[in-house]
């Protein structure tokens, strides 16, 4: 049943009339999520300033955790073929990505970083979460991921972002206690 839903979504995007300008925008959005580059850039900028350094560390931590859990572990354990591998008749608008489909690494890293930002500042976090959702949507639109790859990537990303923020606060608290001991 889930695979039928996934296939129906892929069929919808394959069958729709594409508008070149929208396709171009979607491609730009998906490339922003490539290798987590947007989120790494934001983290590096945040690391420069003392006021945002904590958030930069949390973002980088969440991205590393997401890479290990999502791309290195789950993708290889589950080994789900991408939609265009399962159905070679699918026409791609971008170069075929490597690797397996589940979970969506673009979506996972985007939601992990965006959630990290949200835990630090809700206003910027909402903007980041909207961008993460757009990146996730772009993966479905471009038929390089199934709907469930993106949904699970988003859920896992949120959980990893929350975990990274929690872990930072625990470590920070232990270091503060250690520093204040006589």
Q: What is the pLDDT of residue 6?
A: 86
Q: How confident is the model at residue 15 (pLDDT cuts 50, 70, 90)?
A: confident
3-class secondary structure, 182: coil
% the chain with pLDDT above 70: 97
Q: What is the pLDDT of residue 40?
A: 97
Considering the entire predicted model, what is its pTM? 0.91
Task: HSE, CB side, 13 Å, CA atoms: give it for residue 87.
Answer: 16
Q: What is the 3-state secondary structure (H, E, C) of 7-48?
A: HHHHHHHHHCCCCHHHHHHHHHHHHHCHHHHHHHHHHHHHHH
Of 82, 96, 87, 74, the closest CA to residue 30 belongs to 96
Please classify residue 33 by burial: count the beta carbons closer than 10 Å to its beta carbon, then call 0-12 exposed, 13-18 middle and 19+ buried. Answer: buried
User: Angle formed by the axes of helices 105-120 and 50-66, to 10°?
Assistant: 150
Q: What's the mean pLDDT when you consider all of the chain?
A: 92
Q: What is the pLDDT of residue 102?
A: 95
Q: How confident is the model at residue 18 (pLDDT cuts 50, 70, 90)?
A: confident
Q: What is the pLDDT of residue 9?
A: 86
State the sign of the Cα–Cα–Cα–Cα dihedral 42, 43, 48, 49.
Answer: positive
Q: Does residue 176 have a pLDDT over 80?
A: no
Determine the Cα–Cα distance for residues 154 and 105; give it in Å rounded to an integer: 9
Of 162, 152, 148, 67, the closest CA to residue 114 belongs to 162
Of 43, 29, 182, the closest CA to residue 120 belongs to 43
Q: What is the pLDDT of residue 67?
A: 96
Of 139, 112, 147, the closest CA to residue 2 belongs to 147
Average pLDDT over residues 18-45: 93
% the chain with pLDDT above 90: 73
Q: What is the pLDDT of residue 73?
A: 97
């Amino acid at each position: 049943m889930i695979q039928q839903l996934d296939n129906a979504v892929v069929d919808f995007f394959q069958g729709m009339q594409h508008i070149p300008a929208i396709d171009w925008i979607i491609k730009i959005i998906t490339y922003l999520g490539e290798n987590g580059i947007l989120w790494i850039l934001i983290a590096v900028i945040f690391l420069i300033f003392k006021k945002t350094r904590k958030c930069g560390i949390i973002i980088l931590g969440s991205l590393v955790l997401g890479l290990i859990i999502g791309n290195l572990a789950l993708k290889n354990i589950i080994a789900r073929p991408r939609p265009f591998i399962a159905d070679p008749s699918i026409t791609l608008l971008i170069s075929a990505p490597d690797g397996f489909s589940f979970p969506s690494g673009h979506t996972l890293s985007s939601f992990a970083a965006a959630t990290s930002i949200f835990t630090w500042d809700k206003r910027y976090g909402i903007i980041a979460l909207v961008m993460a959702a757009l990146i996730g949507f772009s993966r479905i639109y471009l038929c390089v991921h199934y709907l469930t790859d993106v949904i699970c990537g988003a859920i896992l990303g949120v959980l990893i972002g929350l975990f990274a923020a929690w872990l930072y606060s625990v470590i920070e608290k232990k270091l503060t206690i250690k520093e204040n001991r006589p």
